[in-house]
Chain A
Amino acid sequence: MAFQMISGSQAAATAVQRVGVDLVAAYPITPQTAIVEALADFSAKGELGGEFVSVESEYAALACCNGAAATGARVFTATASHGLAYMHEMIHWCSGARFPIVMVNVNRTIGAPWCLDPDQGDSLSQRDTGWLQLYCANAQEVFDMVIQAFIIAEELLLPCMVVFDGFYISHTYEAVDVADADQVRKLVGPPAFAPQVIPGQPGNLHGLSTGETHLKLVKDRHQTMLRLPVLFNKINKAFAKQFGRSYNILETQIPSGAKRAIVAAGATAETVRWALPVLADTGLIQLRVFRPFPAAEIRQVIEENELTELLVVDRNCSVGMGGIFAQELRSALYELPKPPQVRSLILAGGVDLTEQMLVDLLQTTGNEENFALRWGDEF
């Protein structure tokens, strides 16, 4: 084991360096900047393995990755907030073209007005683009998920977004076990996916298609993405062998007898984990994977534990509908004969989750008016 005191940003950049990539193209934006700088640093020292390209926009960053991935190159980019929004067209394109691109998104609000705090609305508004989305709760998870993202993306031929909260994770320092490159490369291997662009071989790649063809392609992407749970377990068996730790699609911590649980993704899940000892009879369900949505896994946890109440922490809000994780969860629960009550805590704008908030919330009873929905400014 090789522990280093590093930030979440450094964990992400180090993981990319350990995996080894042919090309990184990126553009700076707070709070992602430290990742770009760290990768440029690796490149300057000749340790990146590939090229670092300083492009003129996030759109260009992903377009450049798209072009390189078409030739079979392993690529990486990172962004946040407005950068992710600006990429939107390319985000769809990469997935449709089946390029296994790995991208980190560091959660940040999207203006107006300008704000730097870690709202998850940036990544969640890319929900329907056909990218896998993995949410991390601490810097170690960032390091490990970035590594696994390359394996997942290249196996499924789908792009994968690794997401974590700005500042809470990107800028705080933690002890992270950063395995050395040899070990990581032993696990990940060289890029194994077939190039689409092959000199000398004619091909009309991603040209005009009919709606019927498009449907087949979308269906295939959907069915392929649903293979993740099995693949994830397989990867984590190998990961555990190599590094002595492993992950599940859902990370659950439910004390015996507890009939309620808090559902959270990203840094708030870590906060809840630390708060659990003071929250009586309450468990935690950490959503690690948002796409594909782990509906069956969630239903299983609920049925096995006979949970009757879920409190969903959403550091985001779909205006006109409410918390996005809560919403997705509700639709997953629809198939249960006796679904639990779903309560929602909305921390849009990226406001902090405190232990006191959770204590207050869990004291509110079903008879009270504000039981189902609470906003972060009400405490």
Chain B
Amino acid sequence: MKIAEINRQDEMIYPGHNACPGCGAALAVRYLTKALGKNIVLVLTASCWSIISGMPPLTALKCPILHCPFPSAGSVGSGVRRGLNARGHHDTTVVVLAGDGGTFDIGLQALSGAAQRNEDYIFVCYDNEAYMNTGMQTSSATPFGARTNTAPYPLYKEGEKKDIMQIMAAHTVPYAATATVAFPADLEEKLKTAQKVKGFRFIHILAPCPPGWGTESSDTIEVSRLAVATGFFPLYEVRNGTNWKLTVPADIKSASLSQYLGLQRRFKEMDDRRLNELQHEINRDYQRLLDQVAKVTAETQQ
């Protein structure tokens, strides 16, 4: 799919929404709603998107949006799906949208419950790697070494970013995939694929946030691209928790981690020791992913 083609698709997002310039989260939802079409219901938990969506009776999207409390998204999605089924709306796609906080942290229990029950909807996490609605506090999706307002200088985020995809894969959900805004065709294809799958589907979208990350709003796509190229945020999908497939390979020769971090003021105080530690984590996880993919390839060739 070409970007020109994506641009020709119907817009589901209205101009004049409340996102900051260069907001990756707004872009992510723009693409995902284009991919899924008009017959969707969006369950939306507390996040920047609670604000982006506008103040009722205004709305930023051309589909029903049902807001819900912060920890509840996974469970509200279950109810909406089953309720729509009871009323005969089997064809409507239910999308639950949550930030990284509403997915990795406070929403994890509901997410896990819904995934385990194999609820028939698409859970989309747009990951801006912190609590942005409340002003950039650490979440368990914040990468090691980043500065946040709950880890201010000279502190920095200790501990690794939680690997939510491995957690979802361990739930053996029918479909899980990563995506990011610099690769809209990949993102759209994954959502279109997800829409055809029955049961629980999970999409993890890296969504750069200029004010939170300390990037230029004109750099959103470049930052997103570098996250993939460096192997920091690989683009892949996994079916039934076992069938791993890389969709856009990393391109380590073309991009370095310090180049990626250098565009983001939240990593300004990152020293070499921390940089090496983060690089080690990235290498280890990327290698594990390659091994998981290779295992599938080997099995299918047998």
Interface residues of A (CB under 8 A from B): 22-23, 25, 50-51, 53-57, 59-61, 63-73, 75, 89-90, 93, 195-210
With contact pairs A63-B68, A63-B75 given, residues A204 and B57 touching in the complex (Cβ less than 8 Å): yes
Q: Which of A65, A73, A203 contacts B64 (CB 8 A)?
A: A203
Which residues on B sit within 8 Å (CB–CB) of A70? Answer: 66, 76, 79-80, 83
Q: Flag whether B50 is at the interface (Cβ < 8 A).
A: yes
With contact pairs A203-B59, A207-B65 given, residues A64 and B76 touching in the complex (Cβ less than 8 Å): yes
Which residues on B sit within 8 Å (CB–CB) of A23? Answer: 79, 82-83, 86
Contact with A along B71-90 (1 / 0, CB 8 A): 11011111111111011010
Give the CA-CA distance A54 to B82 in the complex, in Å: 13
Of the A-B pairs whose beta carbons lie under 8 Å apart in the complex, a sample of 5, sorted by A's number, is A55-B78, A59-B109, A70-B80, A73-B87, A204-B61
Q: Flag whether B166 is at the interface (Cβ < 8 A).
A: no
Give the CA-CA distance A197 to B93 in the complex, in Å: 13
- A240 CB, min distance to chain B CBs, angstroms: 32
With contact pairs A207-B56, A208-B50 given, residues A68 and B61 touching in the complex (Cβ less than 8 Å): no
| Apart from the given pairs A68-B80, A93-B68, A207-B56, 10 other A-B contacts in the complex at a CB distance below 8 Å | A56-B116, A59-B75, A63-B72, A64-B79, A72-B87, A197-B83, A198-B64, A202-B62, A204-B65, A204-B67
- B242 CB, min distance to chain A CBs, angstroms: 24
Which residues on B sit within 8 Å (CB–CB) of A73? Answer: 79, 82-83, 86-87
Q: In the complex, which residues 188-236 of chain B have their Cβ closer than 8 Å to any Cβ of chain A?
A: none
Which residues on A sit within 8 Å (CB–CB) of B44? Answer: 207
- The 4 nearest A-B residue pairs measured at CB: A67-B79, A71-B83, A56-B113, A68-B83
Evaluate contact between B54 and A207: CB separation under 8 angstroms: yes
Which residues on A sit within 8 Å (CB–CB) of B39? Answer: 199-200
Q: Flag whether B117 is at the interface (Cβ < 8 A).
A: yes
Evaluate contact between B66 and A206: CB separation under 8 angstroms: yes
Which residues on A sit within 8 Å (CB–CB) of B89? Answer: 71, 199
Evaluate contact between A64 and B78: CB separation under 8 angstroms: yes
Evaluate contact between B110 and A63: CB separation under 8 angstroms: yes
Chain A residue with the shortest CB-CB distance to B92: A199
Give the CA-CA distance A57 to B110 in the complex, in Å: 8
Give the CA-CA distance A142 to B294 in the complex, in Å: 61
Which residues on A sit within 8 Å (CB–CB) of B66? Answer: 67, 70, 196-197, 205-206
Give the CA-CA distance A377 to B79 in the complex, in Å: 45
B interface majority secondary structure = mixed
Q: In the complex, which residues 72-127 of chain B have their Cβ closer than 8 Å to any Cβ of chain A?
A: 72, 74-84, 86-87, 89, 92, 109-110, 112-113, 116-117
Evaluate contact between A66 and B68: CB separation under 8 angstroms: yes
With contact pairs A55-B78, A56-B113, A60-B113 given, residues A205 and B83 touching in the complex (Cβ less than 8 Å): no
Evaluate contact between A56 and B112: CB separation under 8 angstroms: yes
- A269 CB, min distance to chain B CBs, angstroms: 35
Which residues on B sit within 8 Å (CB–CB) of A205? Answer: 56, 64-67
Evaluate contact between B75 and A67: CB separation under 8 angstroms: yes
- B45 CB, min distance to chain A CBs, angstroms: 10
Give the CA-CA distance A50 to B79 in the complex, in Å: 12
- A288 CB, min distance to chain B CBs, angstroms: 30
Give the CA-CA distance A195 to B57 in the complex, in Å: 17
Evaluate contact between A71 and B80: CB separation under 8 angstroms: yes
- A45 CB, min distance to chain B CBs, angstroms: 19
Q: Which of B43, B72, B84, B86 contacts A59 (CB 8 A)?
A: B72
Which residues on B sit within 8 Å (CB–CB) of A210? Answer: 55
Q: Which of B53, B81, B83, B113 contacts A55 (CB 8 A)?
A: B113
Chain A residue with the shortest CB-CB distance to B116: A56
Chain A residue with the shortest CB-CB distance to B84: A71
Evaluate contact between A197 and B71: CB separation under 8 angstroms: no
With contact pairs A70-B79, A197-B41 given, residues A53 and B64 touching in the complex (Cβ less than 8 Å): no
Evaluate contact between B83 and A202: CB separation under 8 angstroms: no
Give the CA-CA distance A257 to B117 in the complex, in Å: 62
Evaluate contact between B43 and A67: CB separation under 8 angstroms: yes
With contact pairs A207-B50, A208-B50 given, residues A67 and B87 touching in the complex (Cβ less than 8 Å): no
- B240 CB, min distance to chain A CBs, angstroms: 21
Give the CA-CA distance A326 to B69 in the complex, in Å: 34
Q: Which of A56, A61, A196, A204 contacts B59 (CB 8 A)?
A: A204
Which residues on A sit within 8 Å (CB–CB) of B78? Answer: 25, 53, 55, 60, 64, 67
Give the CA-CA distance A306 to B254 in the complex, in Å: 91
Give the CA-CA distance A211 to B74 in the complex, in Å: 28
Evaluate contact between A66 and B72: CB separation under 8 angstroms: yes
Give the CA-CA distance A93 to B70 in the complex, in Å: 11
Evaluate contact between A51 and B65: CB separation under 8 angstroms: no
Give the CA-CA distance A93 to B84 in the complex, in Å: 20
Evaluate contact between A60 and B67: CB separation under 8 angstroms: no
With contact pairs A68-B83, A208-B55 given, residues A60 and B74 touching in the complex (Cβ less than 8 Å): yes
Q: Flag whether B167 is at the interface (Cβ < 8 A).
A: no
Which residues on A sit within 8 Å (CB–CB) of B65? Answer: 202-205, 207
Which residues on B sit within 8 Å (CB–CB) of A65? Answer: 79
Give the CA-CA distance A72 to B116 in the complex, in Å: 26
Chain A residue with the shortest CB-CB distance to B79: A67
Give the CA-CA distance A40 to B105 in the complex, in Å: 31
Evaluate contact between B75 and A64: CB separation under 8 angstroms: yes
Q: Which of A66, A198, A200, A204 contacts B79 (CB 8 A)?
A: A66
Give the CA-CA distance A25 to B72 in the complex, in Å: 14
B61, B62, B69 pick with most chain A CB within 10 angstroms: B69
- B57 CB, min distance to chain A CBs, angstroms: 7
